[in-house]
Amino acid sequence: MLDAFTALNRGTRLVYRRGLRRYVYAPIAVNLAVYTAMLYYVVTRFGGWLEAWMAMVPAWLGWLEWLLWPLFVLSLVLIVFFTFTLVTHLIAAPFYGFLAAKVETQVTGRPPLDDRGLARTAVDALGRELVKLGYILPRALALFVISWIPALNVFAPLLWALFSAWMMAITYLDYPMDNNKVTFADMRRRLAAHSWQTLTFGGWVTLITWIPLANLFLLPGAVAGAVLMWDRHYRGEGDVAAP
């Protein structure tokens, strides 16, 4: 049985072998540029964001300030992580889709079903990312609103953590599924049919993204891990109710 951690471990070792490692340089360069710019922006403004957020706590909840402060910090960190993830994957999507196709060919001995050319694949990959954004952003906005509602915002960090795992599963497992002509709706049905594998994979990828700098070199392994998970758990899955 292929579990999420094993898939990520095998995938990371796989992409740095001869024949595949040349396909990870472009995604690493893209992520490094975005990481540097966003880190500078967040460091210079994080304190002001936190002060503004704490100023909105009503007086009757003042006695809970010792608890709300770390919860607000964690919520801000999760929001920053979410934004960083969206930006980097929107830019790197064409490279990750191409890498997933190369990994699948090497692992399974056959190419994915996608017969589009490289240029068309790159354009379609950006379109697919916009579809993901259309699914993710309204749900992220709802969580953002919850994060500002007194009392309810106590649950915000847990909700953000669960949502992040689901979001990362959608983001990475979609690469091999898109390459095999699986629609976005069908992809969500397949992920829901294997919810444990889906959330554990997304959870591990989320943890990887929180490792400064090292995540730049580990995320291509998550693409390969997603291919392994696709081939073992999701390929040929029948239709079930979409979440």
| Per-residue confidence (pLDDT) for residue 36, from 0 to 100 | 83
| Per-residue confidence (pLDDT) for residue 122, from 0 to 100 | 64
CA gyration radius, the chain: 19
The residue written with tokens 């922006």 in the block is 41
Average pLDDT, the chain: 81
**What is the phi/psi pair of residue 109, to 5°?**
85, 5
Residue 92 pLDDT > 80: no
Least confident range of 16-30, 72-86, 136-150, 193-207: 72-86
Q: What is the pLDDT of residues 152-194, one digit of tens each?
A: 777 888 888 889 899 999 999 999 998 888 999 999 999 999 9
CA dihedral for 27, 28, 33, 37, sign (positive or negative): positive
| Per-residue confidence (pLDDT) for residue 223, from 0 to 100 | 94
Angstrom distance (rounded) from CA 235 to CA 194? 11
Of the candidates 112, 235, 229, the one whose C-alpha atom is nearest the C-alpha of residue 180 is 112
Residue 137 pLDDT > 60: yes
